[in-house]
């Protein structure tokens, strides 16, 4: 992918909650780990920040197909697996920042934890501010403290889980299908939060690969 920033690709219409990988081969997983490591190292070595900027803007410009092909099948708690989850979070917020802001604010109000503080969004956060937040978190992966960036993303997920769960309860009596969708979203984000937290721990001891 490093030499393919110029190549436009199809932006998928698949919803965030349905974006999953297929079963991959051993060779595909080897390539996933190699490309993830190379991209992170390249961005961190580029003092100009240009590589990081291009990686942060990649899905907005080119979609997520290439990233999915490389990383969607990687183990959840791995470098490519963590990057895949971060890009999915970014895509979900960029594509529907209004819903993201609604769920985040509801979660911030309901959740009795420091997760909203760790995530670092304003209170309350506008849709535009959440777009900035997720881009800032992704920038931390490529230019800052990688583990802190993962922990911020995990905290963001937990706030969203709380919001999606409570809004699902609101819809349960009148719009059961919408409630089911929100519950599924909460379940997936909960898994993301756990995966990203575990990945952060491994990164801190030099074992995330």
The closest alpha carbon to 2, from 30, 48, 33, 43, belongs to 43
Mean pLDDT, rounded, for 188-209: 97
| CA-angle at 198, arms to 192 and 204, nearest 5° | 135
Look at 149 and 14; give whichever has higher pLDDT: 149
How many C-alpha atoms does 27 have within 13 Å on its Cβ side? 0
Distance CA(126)–CA(2), nearest Å, equals 33
Task: Quickly state the pLDDT bin for 62 (edges 50, 70, 90).
Answer: confident
With beta carbons less than 8 A apart as the criterion, state whether 47 and 89 touch: no
Q: How confident is the model at residue 24 (pLDDT cuts 50, 70, 90)?
A: low
Residue boundaries of the structural domains of the chain: 24-204
pLDDT above 90: residue 106? yes
């Amino acid at each position: 992918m490093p030499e393919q920033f110029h190549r436009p690709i199809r932006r998928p219409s698949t919803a965030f909650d349905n974006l999953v990988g297929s079963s991959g081969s051993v060779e595909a997983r080897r390539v996933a780990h190699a490309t993830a490591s190379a991209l992170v190292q390249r961005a961190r070595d580029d003092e100009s920040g240009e590589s990081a900027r291009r990686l942060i803007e990649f899905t907005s410009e080119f979609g997520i197909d290439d990233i999915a092909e490389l990383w969607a099948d990687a183990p959840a708690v791995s470098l490519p697996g963590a990057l895949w989850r971060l890009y999915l979070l970014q895509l979900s917020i960029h594509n529907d920042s209004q819903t993201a802001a609604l769920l985040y604010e509801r979660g911030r109000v309901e959740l009795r934890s420091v997760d909203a503080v760790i995530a670092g969004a304003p209170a309350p956060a506008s849709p535009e501010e959440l777009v900035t937040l997720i881009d800032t978190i992704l920038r931390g992966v490529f230019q800052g403290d990688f583990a802190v960036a993962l922990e911020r993303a995990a905290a963001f997920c937990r706030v969203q889980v709380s919001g999606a769960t409570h809004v699902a309860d609101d819809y349960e009596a009148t719009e059961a299908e919408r409630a089911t969708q929100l519950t599924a979203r909460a379940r997936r984000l909960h898994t993301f939060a756990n995966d990203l937290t575990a990945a952060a721990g491994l990164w801190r001891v030099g074992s995330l690969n």
